[in-house]
Amino acid sequence: MTVTIQLAHWGAFEAESDGKRLTAVRPWRGDPAPNPILGNIASAQHHPARIDRPHIRKGWLDGGPGPAERGGEEFVPVSWRTALDLLAGELRRVYSEHGPGAVYGGSYGWSSAGRFHHAQSQVHRFLNTLGGYVRSEQNYSFGASGVLVPRVLGSIGNLLSGTSASVLARHTELFVAFGGLSPKNSAVAPGGIGRHELGSWLSAAHDRGCRFVSVSPLRDDTFGTLGAEWLAPKPGSDTALMLGIAHVLEAEDLCDREFLARCTVGYERFAPYLADKTPEWAERITGIPAERIRSLAREMAASRTLINVSWSLQRQQYGEQPVWMGIVLAAMLGQFGLPGGGFGHGYGSSGDVGKPPTVASAPRLGQGQNPVEDSIPVARIADMLLHPGQRYEFDGQHREYPDIRLVYWAGGNPFHHHQDLARLRRAFARPDTVVVHDPFWTASARHADIVLPTTMAIERDDYGSGGNDPTLFPMPALTEPAGQAKDDYTVFAELAGRLGVAERFTEGRTAGEWLRHLYQDWRDRLATLGHELPGFDEFWSGDPIEVPLYEPERVLLADFRADPRRNPLRTPSGRIEIYSETIAGFGYPDCQGHPMWFEPEEWHSGYPLHLIANQPRTRLHSQLDVGEHSRSAKVADREPVRMHPADAEARRLREGAPVLLHNARGRCLAGLVLSEDVAPGVVQLSTGAWYDPDPEDPAFCGHGNPNVLTADRPSSTLAQACTGQHAMVEISCYDGEPPPLRAHSAPERPGG
């Protein structure tokens, strides 16, 4: 048996292998708070849901490319040679007849913690060698913030790193967490995370005397060791609560007016809006008592206060508003740039927020240049496929959706990330061809025409490090690939050879040669900065190495606070924009010149329960849903839905029984769990259960995917971002025998 250290998005681990499969997985000894999601890896590797060889949808194989009702048809297993020959021919046809603007290069980048075998980099590099592709912008995680924050704070990159958590541990006196401080979300990070440290830093702050207030519909949305006060406003009303707090700060002259005058613009245009946003007004909307709103405002003004807004709050209609309003509150308190004070965005949303920045990110494969100018906000994929030529607005730009004939997806699962899955399924019926690389028979693979099996990270050589993680891990393959799986690079290299662009794609290098080349180039660049790192051979055969830090600790906007003129922000004014002339100039009715309260349209749907479709505890997104740890949380093979006992009693629902969640968009089954950690009137069903539609009704999911219920509605005209966090639903008893679970099995092949 060999023992090797590996990295995953949810943590580092030590694995034993017999060369064919993992025989043991245990947390890396260097991680102070390992994540139990590691339990999914070994059990998923050889699950029946692995794709064992290339497959082609029977209708496409028999009839050729064209629009089709994808998702329910048989797949025909074929050889790699046949699959790649057919795919090369289809790529040649689409590029020659329709051009690169008819190809959508879909990828969400979560397929591997490895930096070279990063599926998003691989597919984009390949498509760029063919002439380019239509790309996506922003993301499903913080898409609304990604557009808003650069307009009002200058850069989202520094904000996502934030003030170092070690600084918060020593200086913060009051930590107000709008959207909570989720332990499960802080346990994962893009690219991977070696050491889970946020919980220990927050506990150190608590032990020193810092008080925590968690504003969330879920009591357990915050580390239990923090003794946080729980405030549970009506879901979607956080902006109204913040406005009520701001009213008190203004009315009682608790603002730092010197900071507002020196470091911000537009407060004088915003302040009149607060006149009628009293705590009593906010109480009528949020349900939080007016006196608690007043006292909280006073406590915030009297303390070194960190205002944190989770990514979850902006994943809803008008999601720009709570982020902007959180920035304004921090500016009113005048604590930007002070150790332990100011504003944070994403503590508890991702494990890398609060880590000090490194001198350089991990080495990675270049994607090349994309000459195609067309792009879409990532959450508008269904709109693009359904409405080619339709005009739309985005961040002050007038755009038009392209006419996509071929979708090429490698990395990620749009049938997890996207909303209103029945609508997305209609959208996926429109292209001529859909190609998917995937290790598993996810819903995305089931809605493709050409399905190519790819390796898991444990089955290929790579190295990995999170975007803001100081540890670089060598990741030699632990086992041989399952079935006939190949890594993405090998697949694209073979395709590039068939299309006459092999040299352009590979530059004459194998995957192993690329690893050595990229590492050496990265090592040389760090040497010019005065940092000596081991050579590749020493690194590859040894333990993980520590990447030097750019600064051991960071206080967000400290330099700006000290001298705004010499250290201006990258905003039009160089200062924090409480009122944005730029955004106001766009003339959008749903995102105007300063933060405002807009009542969500969903509140008027007629359904009584607020569904929180948050991230899951037992997996990352939908990854490895077939794994042992993920399946251990299922209730009667369905995703668990939590609700308050009083709400269940009113509906005569029994814990452990299958229940039906429904609204006008769709229906799904789930297994009922009762919990007083869920506010009354709220139900919580995590995302990530593999979509398992009824063959006759794509709006029904028998497994518990909440995105059959969520609306494919943009956050606003400004950001056009995802709004999948909230929906209104009803829950009722499910009568009859639940349908068999099909999502965790391979689809049918001809002949049974």
Positions annotated as catalytic residues are: 108, 110
- Written as one string, the DSSP assignment of 134-188 is BEEES-TTTHHHHHHHHHHTS-SHHHHH-S-HHHHHHH-SEEEEET-B-TTGGG-
HEC secondary structure over 232-283: CCCCCCHHHHHHHHHHHHHHCCCCCHHHHHHHEECHHHHHHHHCCCCHHHHH
d(CA 635, CA 628): 14
| Tokens 């505890």, residue located | 617
> CB of 630 within 8 A of CB of 40?
yes
Report the C-alpha dihedral over residues 671, 610, 313, 724, rounded to 10 degrees.
60
- Written as one string, the DSSP assignment of 399-417 is EE-----EEEEESS-HHHH
| Tokens 């790579």, residue located | 462
User: Encoding tokens for residue 213?
Assistant: 């207030």
Question: Residue 513: how many CB atoms within 10 A of its CB?
Answer: 12
In sequence order, what are the residues at sequence separation of 6 or more whose Cβ sits closer than 8 angstroms to the Cβ of residue 576? 152, 153, 263, 264, 265, 327, 331, 336, 569
SS3 432: coil
For residue 636, the one-letter residue type is A
Distances (CA, A) of 235 to 142, 316, 448, 692: 18, 10, 36, 28
Q: What per-residue string of b and e applies to 558-589 under the rule 16 or more CB within 10 Å gives b? A: bebbeebeeeebebebbbbbbbbeebeebebe
User: Encoding tokens for residue 282?
Assistant: 């906010």
DSSP for residue 29: T
| Tokens 């390992």, residue located | 34
Burial of 36 (0-12, 13-18, 19+ CB in 10 A): middle
In sequence order, what are the residues at sequence separation of 6 or more whose Cβ sits closer than 8 angstroms to the Cβ of residue 306? 163, 168, 172, 174, 175, 176, 335, 340, 341, 342, 343, 344
**Residue 176: strand pairing partners:** 213, 307
> CB of 613 within 8 A of CB of 687?
yes
Distances (CA, A) of 82 to 56, 185, 500: 10, 42, 18
HEC secondary structure over 58-80: HHHHHHCCCCCCCCCCCEEECCH
Phi then psi for residue 437, to 5 deg, are -95, 130
> CB of 127 within 8 A of CB of 365?
no
> CB of 482 within 8 A of CB of 52?
yes
Distances (CA, A) of 236 to 217, 290, 310, 325: 10, 18, 13, 13
d(CA 712, CA 437): 25
Phi then psi for residue 379, to 5 deg, are -80, 5
User: Encoding tokens for residue 746?
Assistant: 């391979």
In sequence order, what are the residues at sequence separation of 6 or more whose Cβ sits closer than 8 angstroms to the Cβ of residue 528? none
In sequence order, what are the residues at sequence separation of 6 or more whose Cβ sits closer than 8 angstroms to the Cβ of residue 316? 236, 600, 715, 723, 725, 726
